Amino acid sequence: MNSVIVLGGYGGFGARLSKRLAADGWAVLVAGRNGAAAERLAAELPNALPLVLDRTADLRPVLEAHRPFLLIDAAGPFQGSGYQVAEACFACGVHYIDLADAREFVCGIGRLDAAALAASVAVVSGGSSVPALSGAVIAELAQGMAEVCSVETSISASNRATAGASVAAAILSYVGKPVRLWRGRRWRQETGWHRLHHETYRVPGRLPIRRLVALADVPDHDLVPGTVPGKPATTFRAGPEFAFQLLTLWLLSWLVKWGWVRSLSPFARWLLPLQRLSARFGTDRSAMTIAVKGIADGEPVVRRWTLIAENGDGPEIPTIAAHVLANALAADHLAPGARHAASELALRDFDAHFDRLAIFRAVESVPYLPLYRRVIGPAYAAMPKPVRALHDLVGDAGARGTATVRRGRSLPARIVCTVMRFPPEGAHDLHVSFEERDGTERWTRDFAGHAFTSELSQRGERLVERFGPMRFSFDLPADTSGLRMVMRGWSAFGVPMPLWLAPRSEAREWAEGEDFCFDVPIALPGIGTVVHYSGRLRRI
C-alpha cells in the first residue's frame, strides 16, 4: 500500500482529495497545522492518520520518519512561495505533486529538474484545473489545427463552494496588479480583475449558466503561447456566482492600480467571513469553458469545451488532476524530473472521475466566417492576397509596419485629434492588434506608443465601426485592386445623425508586393482635415 502525505489534507480541496485517495487504497497522512482538524478527517477515512505539519518549516525530518511514497501540496498559497516543500521531497526520495495555479511558481518548477532527475523522483506542479485540466482540454481541441489563433478560458464557482484562505489570498494577490498577456502577437500589460465579460456556459440538457468573469493571472498565460502551435493569444477569466461580489473586487482593484494601496492581500481575512455569510445563498452550480479558435483544413474554426458541475460537485474538479497523477505515479507511468502539469494528462484521463460526479460536458465545433468576408460577400475572393490575409481574422492576430500621420492645423481639428486620441504628426512604427469575439472585431492601432481603438461589427450588409459613442456605417466595394470604405450613415449616442454632418472619409486598402497598404483621410464639415494617416502592414 502506497502512502501519501496530503498537505492541507483537511482543507476545502485537500479533504476531497484525501477522501478519494483513501477510497483508492492509499494510506493517507492528513497533514496541516491544525491537528484537531486533521484528526477529525483521518477518523472518517480508512487507512488514514493525522499529522501536524507546517509547510513553511523544514519537512525533511518528518519525511525521513514516515517515508511516504508521495507528498501532495494542497495547502498553498503558492503566490510568492519558494520550492522548499518540493526540495525537501526530492532530498528524501519522495515524489511531489501540487495543486498550484500561481503563474510564476508553476512556470518556474523546471529549475528543479536536474535535482529531481538525480533523485529519481517526479516533481509535478499545477495538478489542478489549471494548467493540468486546461492543458488537456486545449490539446484535445487543437487537434488537426494547423494554427491556433486564440485560447480563452473562464471558470465560475458556485457561491456555496466556500473558498479556503489560500484561494482568497491567491485571488487578492493579483487584483489591480499588472498581468502580462500575449495578445496581438506581442506581450502587453493588462490589469488583474479587469477585462470584465459576461460568459454563458451551455451544455445540452442542462440549464445554461450566465456569469460575470474577470481577468485572473494563471500559468496558462505563459504556458499556452509557449507550447501550443501558432503561439495563440491567451486569456483566462474567473468569477464568483454573484456579480456584486466580482464588482466589489473590481472597484477595490482601482485602489491598487492607482497606487493608493500596494495590494489587497491583507484584506483576505475579511473576504473569507463575508463569503461564508453569503454561502447559503445562490446555487450549487459551477462551470468552466475553453474556446480554441484557429485554422483547420485551411478554414477558420471555433471549438469550445464546456463543463457544468451540479449538486455541489464543482470543488472536486481542482483536485482530480492530482488524483490522476498520483495513481499514474503509483503505476510507474510518470517519468522522473520536474515540470508543470500542462501536458501530463489527456482529457480522457478525467472522464471516469467526472462520470462519478454530477459533472456534465459538451464539445462543439463550428466553422467561422470572418467579418469582412461576411460583409463583402463573393467579391472578397477577388481582392489581393495581402488584403485578404489581414482581414481573415479569427480569435486574435497582429500586424506590424510603418505609417505617416498628418494632422489638421486648425484649433478645432487639434481638439478633435486630442479627444479621439489620434497619433501625433510624423512617421511612426505601427503595430495593430486584432481581437475577435463573437463575430465582432476590436482593432487597436499603436503608433509608436500612441494608441487608439475602434470596434467593428456587421449590421445588415454593412460594416459598422464604433469609436466610443459614435458609430459609422460603411459599404465595402471590393475588386482585384482592393477595397474602399464608403460611409452611408452615422449616429452619436444612439441618435441617427444627418449624413451631411458626417466626417468625410473614404479609406482605401490595396496591396504592394506582400504589403497591405492603407490610406485613411478624415475631415469634418467646416473644419477640414482632422487627421490623415497612411502606411503599410504585414501580418506577424
Per DSSP, the residues of 395-426 read SEEEEEEEEEEEE--SHHHHHHHHHHTPPPSE
pLDDT value of residue 273: 67
pLDDT at 278: 66
- Cis check for the bond before 315: say yes or no (omega within 30 of 0): no
Q: What is the pLDDT of residues 384-435, one digit of tens each?
A: 999 999 999 999 999 999 999 999 999 999 998 898 889 999 999 999 999 9
- 475-505: per-residue pLDDT in tens? 999 999 999 999 999 999 999 999 999 989 8
Residues in the chain, total:
540
Per-residue pLDDT at 290: 98
Q: Which residues of the chain have pLDDT under 50?
A: none
Please give the pLDDT value at position 276: 64
Judged by DSSP in three states, 56 sits in coil
Predicted pLDDT at 268: 72
Asked, as a colleague might, if the bond just before 367 is cis with ω within 30 of 0, I would say: no
Side-chain-side CA neighbours of residue 504 (13 Å): 9
Give the per-residue pLDDT at 165. Answer: 66
Left, alpha or beta for 47 (phi > 0: left; psi -120 to 50: alpha)?
A: left
Question: Using CA atoms, how far apart are residues 306 and 200, in angstroms rounded to an integer?
Answer: 10
**Does this model's pTM top 0.75?**
yes
Task: Say if residues 435 and 442 touch (Cβ distance below 8 Å).
Answer: yes
pLDDT of residue 272: 63
Residue 467: name the closest of 424, 520, 431, 427 by CA: 520
The pLDDT of residue 434: 97
Measure the CA–CA gap between 317 and 272, rounded to whole angstroms.
21
SS3 209: strand
Q: What pLDDT is stored for residue 391 in this prediction?
A: 97
CB 33 within 8 A of CB 53: yes
